[in-house]
Amino acid sequence: MVIRPFVQQDLTPLTELTIETFRPFYEDSFRTLVGEVVFANQHGNWRDDYREQVAGLHAPE
C-alpha cells in the first residue's frame, strides 16, 4: 500500500467511493427504518451532502 498526499484529481473518485460505500446504509437500511417522509426531510439529498462535505474536507481554506 502506498499512502500519499491528496491531490485535486483524487476528489471525484474519492467522492464516488464515499457515496457508494454509504449507499447501502441510506438506501437499504436507514430509509426503511425511518420511512419516506423523515428520510426525505433529513437525508433526502445525502449524495449531494457527501459531495459537499468530502470536497470541504480537502479544501485548503
Is 4 within the bounds of a domain? no
Is 2 within the bounds of a domain? no
Domains in the chain, number: 1
In this predicted structure, what is the pLDDT of residue 29? Answer: 93
In this predicted structure, what is the pLDDT of residue 15? Answer: 97
Is 26 within the bounds of a domain? yes
Collapsing DSSP to helix, strand or coil, 23 comes out as helix
Is 3 within the bounds of a domain? no
| pLDDT single digits (tens) 2-54 | 999 989 999 999 999 999 999 999 999 999 999 999 999 999 999 999 999 99
Is 43 within the bounds of a domain? yes
Query: For residue 61, is pLDDT > 90?
Result: no
Nearest to 60 by CA among 6, 10, 13: 6
Is 1 within the bounds of a domain? no
**pTM for this prediction:** 0.81
Q: Which domain holds residue 22?
A: 9-57
In this predicted structure, what is the pLDDT of residue 59? Answer: 78
